[in-house]
Structure 1
Amino acid sequence: MNLLNLRLGTNDLAKSRAFYDATFGALGLPPSSMPAEYPIIMYKIPGGPNFAVGPARDGQPATHANGGTILFAADSDEQVSAWYDAGIANGGTCEGKPEPKPQTGGKFGAYLRDPDGNKLAVYHGLTIG
């Protein structure tokens, strides 16, 4: 089985594009190539699924998951910090500043919420499974 796509909801596509272009750019991804008039933005995660952001398909306001966190890997501690700084500068809110995290045995990580409240994290050196 493969995960093909992960999609988060947004209530402001332009704010989400600015946030994800900046934070994913800090991790080495190019900006979304989806034209501005498309109803979603999408990023291809190297070796992984597509990551998409768009409004809720049912026309209702998008809401964030309670208890959900999406975790990304960084190539260095500096990249974690750059991701965090880019997110704060583009409408994200802090859920955990860049630092060694005791819950991961001291791996360097940071947590943010995107402009719609979706919780994200980036770690350097963390392995899962």
Structure 2
Amino acid sequence: MTTKNDRLPPLQKEIILLLSKEGPLTKHGIAKKLDKSYKNVDFALNSLKAKNLIEPSGTKHYRNQRFNTYWLTLKGVVEAYVNGASIQQLKVLTENILKQKSEHLDVFFDLMASLKRKNARKILGMIDFSNGRPRL
């Protein structure tokens, strides 16, 4: 059963789903694609970082300045899946962004694909995602 605490506010959910389709984006890129104010996107991204659902994944250079790009953590990947993102697209993007294809990721995505979306958050919540490798 999904409780209110399990649900993300609408803008945070939109950001998670956008990243799951587009891959890493800057704050400005997210605001532009969602047609939202930069301030609201910045606030939502800070909340998502505090929940360990996103993290900086690289930088984009523009006019001699660097801007962080953001991508989903493995916990964020689960949240995107629960909210309707394509498991195949998530797997491909995650492997490309992490620049690795590993047995750990294969097991993680196979397990996630075998679960009903509504159960994925609860079951995968038992997995420790620290250090980037899922483990029980």
TM-score by length of 1: 0.32
TM-score by length of 2: 0.31
| Structure with greater helix percent | 2
